[in-house]
Structure 1
Amino acid sequence: MTRRRLVRDMVRIRCVEEELGDVYRDEQEMRTPVHFSIGQEATAVGVCAALRRTDVIYGGHRCHAQYLAKGGDLTAMVAELYGKQSGCAAGRGGSVHLVDRAAGFGASSAILGEMISVAVGAAWSFALRGEPRVAATFFGDGASEEGVFHESLNFAALHRLPVVFVCENNQYSLSSPQAARQPAGTSISGRARGYGMPARRVDGNDVFAVFEAAEEAVRHCRQGNGPYFLELDTYRWREHVGPHWDYDVSGRSKADVDSWVARCPIRRAVETLSDTDPGITEQLAVWQREFRAELHEAVAAARSSPFPAVADLLTGVYES
């Protein structure tokens, strides 16, 4: 994995989500709630770059970046946002229920913390079958307050399962800051260590640091040493759900958001590479044009695709 490739993948996610946000806002044709990862691209890219295609990941509601970083099909993702039959979940799930099993994106869900246990189940199956595969699960700081978080960490540590827990700590759960929800003097990674697993807290806006930490975590799991926990400090620029900025509406001030925008993971990565890769700035502009055009091609394909047939409404629904 080259450093340039890490930057490229972040730029692709940023361009896709910014363009999607504009289309979502202006068209009013996508009726699914959307949770954008604009500003958080380094976490998904850094972790997924350390995984093999045969490894699997599971995400929560803010899952576009993880899906794309793992190699999920963009056209199928956009069609899913439009509720079309060609969507990755056949138009049934929308933005928060993405899936691409061929790419190793197992599933995502809007239920807080749900996919943590599912990833542990996948890791348990790998261990029982003796397969050299790793499961990873992405979740936010708010999910660390759910019971399933603690149950899953305990079970994974007890059975030494090959699962990487990835907490994208973006400092807020909806509009509630972490300091208002969790005791002073504690940390999420510290709680993970309490279950006997190694845990690292990393600057989640430094894609190179995330990649290095993820490589260590994945190696630890693949060698049969049990689970590993990563707490990645980052920040979402847009509102919790939707394409807009939310200064002073969610309790976050413009100054606070601006301070994190100044720590943009793409800008920081480009600055880091500029001395050893002098062409990176020019390449950045090429990528931006390429990926914005790619998104609009996917939008055009989604618009022309049919909606699911009414006769198939109950296809895939479990009936007892």
Structure 2
Amino acid sequence: MSTPLERRQALQQDRLVRYERMVEIRALENKVQDLFDEGLVHGTTHLCLGQEAVAVGVAAAARTTDQVTCTYRGHGVALALGLTPVQLLGEILGREAGSIGGIGGSMHLCDPEIGLMPTFAIVGAGIPVAAGAALTAQVRGTDDAAIAVFGDGSTNIGAFHEALNLAAIWKLPVVFVCENNQYGEYSRIDLTTPVDDIACRAESYAIPSAIVDGQDPDEVAEAVSGALDQARGGSGPTLLELKTYRYAGHSRADTAPYRPEGEFERWYEKDPIVNFGRQLVDEGVLGNDGIEEVQAAVDARIDAAVELVLASAPAPVEAMFANVLAP
């Protein structure tokens, strides 16, 4: 079984691995929903179905020494960065096999080895933390950078504007990645946000921005890589708006009845896994049976991970106090 670091390195070096990782993210998210329906997941879950290209593109561009923050909808980013299915499922199911021993759950994933800072349950909370990580790199004189991945709803709160302002003033090496999936929880973006493109908000802070096809992992990787080069070179932050779509509802049993008729179908025509798979077949990277073979291999791996995790020890109650310090 490969380590998180080895998984990350393979993703950065091989487009076929990027495709397989997107398939893995979707299959694992579907499995998480199944486990939740069976009563095996305590608390809530927020799935990133449809947004796999964002996660894989970001991970393909970042170094393992870069620091990445993301949201409670962070399973995909965690897997793309290198977290293994066993580590992820272990955390979600509260088992010692989890990346931090099963005490974080679905919304608080972490693995410093691959640059995954603790994911955040509070909307927008990771944005200023990423700015702080960038400040750390700047003060230490390294050429590492930070990446904040957040949703469109986060751009309407103070933390977003404060972090962009600070990062612009101090030219911090940070890339702000808005994962615009068209919905902030249960509200469509046109009901909450007065601008069509989140990227235009960068102009208020005199920093560069770009609108990116968030359904194309190659385009995402190229955009994030370019922004990271600017950050490492001392040019400061960039705001990237990645247009994508959330197939699942906000959380748990939300069936998203608030969607306009036909919207889901229109976005599914841009499905990142279907389209990238076809592209790799056309390029000869995948054989004629390659898509089915990748899916079968991924399904077998996830089934094995579920079996292993369910057979592992639950996190003991006292584990919640293991990292609590007192004077």
SS at match of 2:178: strand
Q: Distance in 2 between matches of 1:306 and 1:258?
A: 42
CA contact under 8 A between 2:186 and 2:256: conserved in structure 1? no
- What TM-score comes out, normalization by structure 2 length? 0.91
Q: How does 1:141-152 map to 2 (within 5 A)?
A: 141-152=152-163
What is the rounded CA distance, in whole Å, between the counterparts of 1:19 and 1:280 in structure 2? 27
Q: Report Cα offsets for 1:137-171 as digits up to 9, x if no partner.
A: 11000011110000101111111111111100011
CA distance 1:77–1:198, shift in 2 (3 Å) = same
Does structure 2 retain, via aligned residues, the 8 Å contact 1:89–1:97?
A: no
Match of 2:279 in 1: 272
* Aligned pair partner of 1:4 in 9, 16, 25: 16
- Determine the structure 1 residue equivalent to 2:293: 286
In 2, Cα distance between equivalents of 1:98 and 1:38 = 18
Taking structure 1 as the reference length, the TM-score comes to: 0.93
**What are the Cα deviations for residues 51-104 of structure 1, in whole angstroms up to 9, with x where unaligned?**
111212111111001001111132121111111223223222210100011111
**More off after superposition, 70-79 vs 164-173:** 70-79
The one of 100, 103, 108 equivalent to 1:92 is: 103
Residue number among 272, 295, 299 corresponding to 2:302 in the alignment: 295
Alignment match of 1:231 (pick from 234, 241, 244): 241
Look up the match of 2:255: 246
Alignment-derived partner of residue 310 in structure 1: 317
CA contact (8 A) 1:247 1:254 kept: no
Offset of residue 247 of structure 1: 4.6
AA in 2 matched with 1:236:
R
* 8 Å Cα contact 1:205/1:264 also seen in 2: yes
Amino acid of the residue matched to residue 238 of structure 2? Y
Query: Does the Cα contact within 8 Å between 2:20 and 2:298 map onto a contact in 1?
Result: no
Find out whether 1:175 has 2:182 as its counterpart: no
Spell out the pairing of 1:38-117 with structure 2 (5 A cutoff): 38-117=49-128
Q: What amino acid is the match of 1:283? A: G
Whether contact under 8 Å (2:133, 2:146) holds in the other structure is: yes
Aligned to 2:117, the other structure's residue is in SS state strand
Q: Is 1:205 matched up with 2:215? A: yes
Cα distance between partner residues in 2 of 1:312 and 1:203: 42
Does the 8 Å contact 1:32/1:81 carry over to 2?
A: no
Q: Which blocks of at least 5 consecutive residues in structure 1 are unaligned?
A: none
Is 1:260 the counterpart of 2:267 in the alignment?
A: yes
Within-5 A mapping of 1:133-148: 133-148=144-159
One of 6, 17, 35 as aligned partner of 1:23? 35
Q: Report the Cα distance in structure 2 between the residues aligned to 1:216 and 1:193, rounded to whole angstroms.
A: 19
Using the TM superposition, give the Cα deviation of residue 133 of structure 1 relative to its aligned residue in structure 2, in angstroms: 0.8
Cα 1:287–1:202 shift into 2, 3 Å: same
Q: Which amino acid aligns with 1:222?
A: R
Cα offset for 1:113?
0.6
1:159 has 2:159 as partner? no
Instruction: Give the deviation of 1:281 after TM superposition.
Output: 4.6
Cα–Cα, structure 1 residues 20 and 158, in superposed 2: closer, same or farther, change >3 Å?
A: same
Match of 1:195 among 189, 205, 213: 205
In structure 2, runs of 5+ residues without a counterpart are 1-12
CA distance in 2 between counterparts of 1:282 and 1:124 reads 48
Q: Distance in 2 between matches of 1:104 and 1:128?
A: 18
Residues 312, 214 of structure 1: alpha-carbon distance in 2 compared, 3 angstrom cutoff: closer
CA–CA distance in structure 1, aligned partners of residues 130 and 200 of structure 2: 21
